A and B are shown apart, each in its own frame.
Chain A
Amino acid sequence: MAIDYQKNRVVFSEVAGAEEAEGLLEWLSKHPKGKIDLKECSHLHPANLQVLMAVGCAAYVAPGDAGLAAWVATALRPRP
């Protein structure tokens, strides 16, 4: 499982594929304040990313992968 749903926290690891997006959306709808941990994530399918963006997760643990972190930083900017 590339996404581990914990109590109030969702932890990504390695590559999160497109099939995860549905579950992620569902979980985030139920836990709008849930924390996002991308520390161990090496890549996530844009379907997941756009779910995160749509939910407006500005607070998240940045990916350890520097390249991904830079990308994600542009996408998950705090909303003005």
Chain B
Amino acid sequence: MNPLLEQFLSETRESLQGISEKLLQLESEPESADLMTELFRYVHTLKGNSGLFDFPELTRVLHAGEDLMDAVREGRLPYSLQMADLLLDAMDFVGMLCAEVDKNGSYGACYADDSLRLADVLRKLIGVTDATKAPAAPAARQALSQGKPILALPLAGIPEQVRMRAYRGACGGAPLHFLSYRPAQDCFFQGDDPFFQARQTPGILWGGIAAQKPWPKLAELDAYSAVLDYQLLCEAPLQELQEYYRYVAEQLEITAVSPRSLIMPQGDPNGGPVYEDFVRDGLLLLAAGDLPGLLRAARSMLELSNPELWLASALRWLVLVLELEPDDATALGAILHSLLSLSAPDWQSLKDASPEPSGVTSGAGLESGAPGKKAQFSPEVRGVVAAIIAAQREILSLPVADAWHCGRLRAAAASLQGCLLAGASAGALPGLLEALDAALAGLTAAPLLSWLAESPLNAAGAPLPATELVEHVEHPPAQQPPARDAAASVVAQPAPAEGEAKFGRRAEDAFAAAKSIKVDQVKIDRLMNLIGEMIVAKNALPYLAGRAESVFGVRELSREIKAQYAVINRIAEEMQDSIMQVRMMPVSFVFQRFPRLVRDTSNKLGKEVNLVLEGEDTEADKNIIESLGDPLMHIVRNSLDHGIEAPQVRSAAGKPAAGTLTIRASQESDRVFIEIRDDGKGIDPEVVKRKAYEKGVIDEEQLERITDQEAQNLVFAAGFSTAETVSDLSGRGVGMDVVRTAIERVNGTLHLESTKGKGTCIRISLPLSMAVTNVMIVESQGQLFGVPMDAVVETVRVPRSAIKTIKRSMATVLRGRIVPLKSLNTLLGLADPQKANAEDELAVLVVSVGDESVGILVDDFHETVEIILKPMAGVLSGLAAYSGSALLGDGSVLMVLNMKEVV
């Protein structure tokens, strides 16, 4: 997830929190304009932010909320409890989407409908006062939701071949949808191309364009006001279409199309042979179930007909239906009948028609307009119920067989009763029982049959396809006008009441949202100390293993302890690593103050400086970062004051008038590098040498010997300043000394490079973290000492004969280089000479001090260990020779040498 999105999510969470707080406060003081303004600001910000991302659903709801809030703020609308409820709902929805984004990086397209509905409801509240602002489409949607009948789809405009192809596809299970897309009038100004969008619709079979209203005179035509409607027939799942049109969901109407409604013969209605005989034969063949015969007959009839004729078109459909859905006797019968009437089969009224000749409409309902409430079933259940009822009717019509007639009646009545209960029409039960009683008394099925003819089950049980030619996407069936309408809805979205409940629940159980927590640093330090102790304790295990073997002689146990140690070691290391991560901070924490500092300082000095910051997201331990603050400040000031010249001087030297100061941070393995580079006048070694001599920092002898590089590094010496006068910026001669000390305190190193006239570059190298130090343990006069691994160059054993004595100091030659040798015992003031091993070789630990290598003679080398270095405290803090102490695994204290001081 990109950082911007992450930030958006965390801000959104806070804003949502703020919004609900404000809303709740508003409940107690609904008149407060301040609260309202604040609320508006929250929503406004949120909406603006959401626009940065690809979340149209989110933006839509927020936008509607913003508009509503704006209306309230300006006093156009009174604040109401209902409004608060709606807003809370909308915010829950936003929260839910954000949670989803947080989890999966985005959210599914399935929220488009919820989003539309919420936005609609919010806008409805603004209502009359703001009717002009609301786009036309939502109004249309609202009309739909109020249950007004939908006009028949303009399917007739689609060419027959396309409809046939769609029918074929639909019979193969492809979802068919009719889209009606009316882009916003000003969409051209937003760079939209709705035509292109429509052309790229997934699964498009057919598309048509129509003007929304009659064209005005050419002179009055505004070419840039979008007035076209787009209609499409698509063979794609609803979800895919919604996803594709998610940005303009409110401008779109998607309607599911049932394949039957595509059967619409077209053509010249005149002439042709007489079809009556064919229809009669056809119906007979159909009744007899001789479909191949019917197909043959239809084909030969088709050959005789002029393809332009309406009748030929109907025959083509008949053939197609015969091929694809030979079981659909109703449709076949209807087409045959339409051949007689020369009018398209009226699929809508098919169900209402009086019973067709037997067999043809076997399953079709005999709806006789039964009064009272109709039983309600979901679409899939309805089919099953229809089958059950048809079976009961059949059973009841069977000839009377005395022996089991009563049982048969009871069984049928029980089945019907079950259907009634399942359809929530328990009110009709007494009628059924009465009919059953009458039937039992008379031993005839007639009362039950007549009850069935008038019962609510009759309507509900009617087969589906005939009733629902066109299924509209808007509403759940439960809210539908009676199924006789051409259009009935598919379950595409829950009823509003359900939706609200859903968001509400989400808001309640979405507690674990916050991803970051603020922790007191003391707690983290404590964690740090604990893991330090843990590492020390862990280091005790190898000792234990050693003891198990050497003292108690149990090798097996020793091995097991070592294995266990490996496991604990891994966990401890990972743990330590994660704690380190917690303490990591980006260097931008220190960098962020520089732009201001550079601006102010350069203004004061009358210099022009461009500050370039690079690698601000480089991370290091908090302590390291904090210790960087002051040194960097000094270095930057120095660069501004001494490094970068005044604009005239620069121009004269052929440099751009504005100097450039670059601060760059980077990370290499376990060290952080900070580079401060300016393109100023650089450091003149001659001047530095002379100054240093004048100030007594170096003596005459050094003055002769010192290299330019060394001379430049003199600026770090205590008490050194090249500035003639002490200004409020620099010149006191403490600056760079402080820098060096501060850097070295955190185990950092400092390197200065400068070319006269070109500029200066100071490189600071810092450890990523200072918590754990790797040290090598050496032995001298029976004592153990630690030497930081950073300083160790190599360990060698040198024969005593190879050690030469020059004047009074020892030296040896290692790979052609002379390495001065010093005895650790001598350095530490211990009396004993260094011990040699059996081959009379001395152990030499080569360490680097500053830029030089020095060999330290010790008695023996031991392993390297990770330790938590504790600085010397109290009276011991005066002992410069040691950088600190650490606890070893066996409980003993290890003194860690500070090689710079010792040598």
B342 interface residue per 8 A CB criterion: no
- B192-226 near A? 1/0 per residue, CB < 8 Å: 01111011000000111111000110110101101
Cβ 8 A contact of A56, one of B198, B207, B215, B226: B215
Chain B contact residues, CB within 8 Å of chain A: 157, 183, 188, 193-196, 198-199, 206-211, 215-216, 218-219, 221, 223-224, 226-228
Q: Which chain B residue shows the least CB distance to A54?
A: B215
A8 interface residue per 8 A CB criterion: no
Task: Across the A-B interface, give the 10 residue pairs with the lowest CB-CB distance, nearest first.
Answer: A74-B208, A75-B209, A21-B223, A46-B195, A54-B215, A25-B223, A54-B221, A29-B218, A71-B207, A47-B223
The tally of residues in A whose CB lies under 8 Å from a CB in B reads 27
**5 additional A-B residue pairs with CB within 8 Å, beyond A56-B215, A71-B195:** A21-B224, A47-B223, A50-B227, A68-B199, A75-B209
Measured in the bound complex, the distance between the Cα atoms of B157 and A67 in whole Å is 17
Q: Would you give the shortest CB distance from A20 to chain B, in whole angstroms?
A: 9
Known: A21-B224, A29-B218, A75-B209. A47 touches B199 (CB 8 A): no
Interface residues of A in 41-70 (CB under 8 A from B): 43-51, 53-56, 67-68, 70
A36 interface residue per 8 A CB criterion: no
Measured in the bound complex, the distance between the Cα atoms of B432 and A29 in whole Å is 75
Asked if A49 and B157 sit within 8 Å, CB to CB, the answer is: no
Asked if A45 and B195 sit within 8 Å, CB to CB, the answer is: yes
Asked if B218 and A25 sit within 8 Å, CB to CB, the answer is: yes
Asked if A51 and B210 sit within 8 Å, CB to CB, the answer is: no
Asked if B218 and A50 sit within 8 Å, CB to CB, the answer is: no
Which residues in A have their C-beta under 8 angstroms from that of B227? 50
Asked if B228 and A46 sit within 8 Å, CB to CB, the answer is: yes
Q: Would you give the shortest CB distance from A24 to chain B, in whole angstroms?
A: 8
Which residues in A have their C-beta under 8 angstroms from that of B193? 18, 45-46
Measured in the bound complex, the distance between the Cα atoms of B223 and A46 in whole Å is 9
Which residues in B have their C-beta under 8 angstroms from that of A44? 195
Which residues in A have their C-beta under 8 angstroms from that of B207? 70-71, 74
Q: Which chain A residue shows the least CB distance to B216?
A: A54
Q: Would you give the shortest CB distance from B372 to chain A, in whole angstroms?
A: 46
A28 interface residue per 8 A CB criterion: yes
Known: A18-B188, A28-B218, A55-B218. A71 touches B199 (CB 8 A): yes
Asked if A25 and B195 sit within 8 Å, CB to CB, the answer is: no
Which residues in A have their C-beta under 8 angstroms from that of B194? 46
Known: A25-B218, A29-B219, A55-B218. A50 touches B226 (CB 8 A): yes
A4 interface residue per 8 A CB criterion: no
- A17-32 near B? 1/0 per residue, CB < 8 Å: 0100110110011000
Cβ 8 A contact of B211, one of A18, A29, A50: A50
Which residues in B have their C-beta under 8 angstroms from that of A25? 218, 221, 223
Q: Which chain A residue shows the least CB distance to B194?
A: A46
Measured in the bound complex, the distance between the Cα atoms of B207 and A74 in whole Å is 8
Q: Would you give the shortest CB distance from B826 to chain A, in whole angstroms?
A: 88
Asked if B221 and A51 sit within 8 Å, CB to CB, the answer is: yes
Which residues in B have their C-beta under 8 angstroms from that of A48? 223
Q: List 12 A-B contacts (CB under 8 A).
A: A18-B188, A18-B193, A18-B224, A46-B195, A46-B228, A51-B223, A54-B211, A54-B216, A54-B221, A55-B218, A68-B199, A74-B208
Known: A70-B207, A75-B210. A43 touches B199 (CB 8 A): yes
Q: Which chain A residue shows the least CB distance to B191?
A: A18
Measured in the bound complex, the distance between the Cα atoms of B228 and A44 in whole Å is 14
Q: Would you give the shortest CB distance from B211 to chain A, in whole angstroms?
A: 6
Asked if B224 and A47 sit within 8 Å, CB to CB, the answer is: yes
Measured in the bound complex, the distance between the Cα atoms of B199 and A75 in whole Å is 14
Asked if B199 and A22 sit within 8 Å, CB to CB, the answer is: no
Asked if A46 and B226 sit within 8 Å, CB to CB, the answer is: yes
Q: Would you give the shortest CB distance from B220 to chain A, in whole angstroms?
A: 10
Known: A45-B193, A74-B210. A53 touches B215 (CB 8 A): yes
Asked if A49 and B224 sit within 8 Å, CB to CB, the answer is: no
Which residues in B have their C-beta under 8 angstroms from that of A67? 199
Asked if A71 and B208 sit within 8 Å, CB to CB, the answer is: yes
Which residues in A have their C-beta under 8 angstroms from that of B183? 46
Which residues in A have their C-beta under 8 angstroms from that of B199? 43, 67-68, 71
Asked if B218 and A49 sit within 8 Å, CB to CB, the answer is: no
Q: Would you give the shortest CB distance from B207 to chain A, in whole angstroms?
A: 5
Measured in the bound complex, the distance between the Cα atoms of B208 and A67 in whole Å is 11
Measured in the bound complex, the distance between the Cα atoms of B221 and A55 in whole Å is 10
Asked if A47 and B215 sit within 8 Å, CB to CB, the answer is: no
Q: Would you give the shortest CB distance from A63 to chain B, in whole angstroms?
A: 12
Measured in the bound complex, the distance between the Cα atoms of B208 and A19 in whole Å is 23
Which residues in B have their C-beta under 8 angstroms from that of A74? 157, 207-210
Which residues in A have their C-beta under 8 angstroms from that of B216? 54
Q: Would you give the shortest CB distance from B210 to chain A, in whole angstroms?
A: 7
Measured in the bound complex, the distance between the Cα atoms of B223 and A72 in whole Å is 17
Which residues in A have their C-beta under 8 angstroms from that of B226? 46-47, 50
Measured in the bound complex, the distance between the Cα atoms of B216 and A47 in whole Å is 15
Which residues in A have their C-beta under 8 angstroms from that of B210? 74-75
Q: Would you give the shortest CB distance from A58 to chain B, in whole angstroms?
A: 13
Measured in the bound complex, the distance between the Cα atoms of B206 and A25 in whole Å is 28
Cβ 8 A contact of A47, one of B157, B188, B198: B188
Q: Which chain B residue shows the least CB distance to A45?
A: B193
Q: Which chain B residue shows the least CB distance to A73?
A: B208
